Amino acid sequence: MRLVKLLANLGYGSRKEMQMAIRNGWVTDRDGNRLKADAKTAHEDIRFDDEPLDPDQGVVILMNKPLGYTCSTKDQGRLVYDLLPDRFRMRKPPLSTIGRLDKETSGALLFTDDGTFLHKVISPKSEVPKVYEVTLDRPLKGDEAALFASGEMMLESEDKPLKPAELEVLGDTSARLTLHEGRYHQVRRMFAATGNHVTELSRSRIGLLSVDGLEAGSWKILSEEDKALIFGV
């Protein structure tokens, strides 16, 4: 791929702007040598304004989503994309979230521009476990774990029972819930069906990939080893 197209696809600017950047000497190799538009330099050896390039297509990002941000670009207000560099919005193919967290839910959120990887994560066949930390309005009754694990629980307006889910009681009004599917507002609806109300909700893990050590609003690009953790490898 020509250097101009590569830089434009990574969101650094339009092709015209990237042609100008190359002419101005802002694009170099790792040794500081100016590159030409037809340069065949390895991706990892290219520097833009003295910084390594963002990863090429196939990037996967983990964010510790803070409260108050939404995942849909159609929503008004603060978006999770606002927490990423502006150029990430201009990438081709575009970045998409892998699933969503609502405005009042925080925690682990994945982004990718790789459609195959996205579908692998969300596919029901993958059954990637997702772990949620839950705070409730009222004390647990004691029968929730058995109900959630039964594989027979039905949510209102649905005709298919939920897959078995594991509930770990942490306190009178706190619990850890592991799901193996992702239905609309599933955690909140499950507890609502038991007569309770979720007051705080955070997703702490996707597979074996955790947000531990990642501050709210921060993100990181995942290595191949990190990506394997999503599938428990």
- 102 catalytic? Reply is yes
Q: Evaluate whether 25 touches 18 at the Cβ level (below 8 Å).
A: no
Among the listed residues 102, 113, 137, 143, the single catalytic one is 102
Here the contacts of 167-176 (C-beta below 8 Å, separation 24 or greater) are 169/140, 169/145, 172/139, 172/140, 173/135, 173/136, 173/137, 173/138, 173/139, 173/140, 174/133, 174/134, 174/135, 174/136, 175/134, 175/136, 175/140, 175/144, 176/131, 176/132, 176/133, 176/134, 176/204
**Which residue matches tokens 């790792």?**
30
The H-or-E segment that residue 109 falls in is strand 105-112
Which residues are marked as active site? Answer: 102
